């Protein structure tokens, strides 16, 4: 009985450790994204935020405010909103 119980316990430990190893090393869900994003010269990052699956960056460029959004997983640009000064 002890041998059978020990064998099942050892098998369970091997299964758990192999699943943890697979999740850590074998499952590469996302490729490493290019983290460089072009920001115009003289631009100042005012604020950053994360909302659902987006990264939101607020920039001040030459006195105007611009909001850029990026996908959280791929870091690809998804939108741009610019607020200019009216005359």
| 4-28 pLDDT tens trace | 999 999 999 999 998 888 777 765 5
- Given a cut of 70, whether residue 48 has pLDDT beyond it is yes
Residue 83: pLDDT band with limits 50, 70, 90: confident
% of the chain exceeding 90 in pLDDT: 43
3-state per-residue secondary structure call for the chain: CHHHHHHHHHHHHHHHHHHHHHHHHHCCCCCCCCCCCCCCCCCEEEEEEEECCEEEEEEEECCEEEEEEEECCCCCEEEEEEECCCC
How much is the pTM?
A: 0.56
């Amino acid at each position: 009985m002890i041998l059978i119980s020990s064998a099942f316990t050892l098998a369970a430990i091997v299964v758990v450790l192999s699943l943890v190893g697979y999740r850590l090393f074998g499952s590469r869900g996302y490729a490493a994204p290019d983290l460089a994003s072009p920001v115009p010269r003289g631009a100042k990052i005012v604020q950053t935020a994360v909302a659902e699956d987006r990264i939101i960056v607020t920039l001040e460029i030459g006195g105007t405010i611009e909001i850029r959004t990026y996908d959280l997983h791929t870091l690809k640009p998804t939108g741009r909103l610019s607020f200019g000064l009216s005359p």
